[in-house]
């Protein structure tokens, strides 16, 4: 089978947790479309172009991964790409209810795509982009949270966006 899977997210910015899920998904499916989308519940710090650029940098070594962005619904994007799977990482129980709700909504909107949850690795269980932003913007060390190759980009952005 030749299955295209979509890995959607805000990726604001991409963390080691996201990268772990993308890598593992890339071993399970033939083609992975990592898609930067907007989450109406969040205000983004990085532009869509910046988020795509960081994702391209960190996934450069993974052959079957492509980076895209989409401003509309995930269900429509998956249909357009003929994707049969939507891959999401699940960290803690707290993620579950919201993710379950999104999975059921997406299934209703696009019955051809199923959501597949990958359990976050133990070392990334607590990681989130919001945590990276909180720590980084306050001058804390985020080396353990984000891929090294985008560390400088992230810190440069944070230096510009600190507001007291």
Q: How many binding residues for ligand PNS (CB under 6 A)? A: 11
Complex with ligand PNS: residue 60 or 104, whichever CB lies closer = 104
- Work out whether 135 is an interface residue with ligand PNS (CB under 6 A): no
Of 48, 62, 90, 102, the one binding ligand PNS by CB under 6 A? 102
Sheet order of strands, 114-119 included: 65-69, 31-36, 4-9, 85-90, 114-119
Mark whether 108 is an active-site residue: no
User: What distance in Å separates the CA atoms of residue 52 and residue 68, rounded to the nearest whole number?
Assistant: 7
Residue 80: CA count within 13 A, CB half-sphere: 11
Distance from C-alpha of 103 to C-alpha of 88, rounded to nearest angstrom: 9
Active site residue 143: no
Closer to ligand PNS by Cβ: residue 105 or 153: 105
Tell me if 10 contacts ligand PNS by CB under 6 A: yes
User: Are 37 and 9 in contact, with CB atoms under 8 Å apart?
Assistant: yes
CA separation for the pair 151, 156 (Å, rounded): 9
Q: Which of 48, 62, 73, 90 binds ligand PNS (CB under 6 A)?
A: 73
Catalytic-residue membership of 156: no
Given the rule CB under 6 A, which residues bind ligand PNS?
A: 8-10, 37, 39, 42, 73-74, 102, 105-106
Q: What residues act catalytically? A: 18, 42, 91, 129
């Amino acid at each position: 089978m030749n299955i295209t899977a979509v890995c959607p997210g805000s990726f604001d910015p991409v963390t080691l947790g996201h990268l772990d899920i993308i890598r593992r998904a890339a071993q399970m499916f033939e083609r992975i479309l990592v898609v930067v989308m907007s989450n109406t519940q969040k205000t983004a710090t990085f532009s869509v172009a910046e988020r795509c650029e960081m994702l391209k940098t960190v996934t450069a070594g993974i052959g079957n991964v492509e980076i895209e962005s989409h401003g509309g619904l995930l269900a429509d994007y998956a249909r357009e790409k003929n994707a049969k799977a939507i891959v999401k990482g699940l960290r803690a129980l707290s993620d579950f209810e919201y993710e379950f709700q999104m999975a059921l909504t997406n299934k209703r909107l696009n019955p051809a795509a199923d959501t597949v949850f990958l359990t976050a690795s133990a070392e990334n269980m607590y990681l989130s982009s919001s945590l990276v932003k909180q720590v980084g913007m306050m001058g804390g060390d985020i080396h353990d949270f984000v891929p090294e190759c985008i560390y400088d980009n992230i810190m440069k952005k944070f230096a510009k966006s600190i507001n007291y």
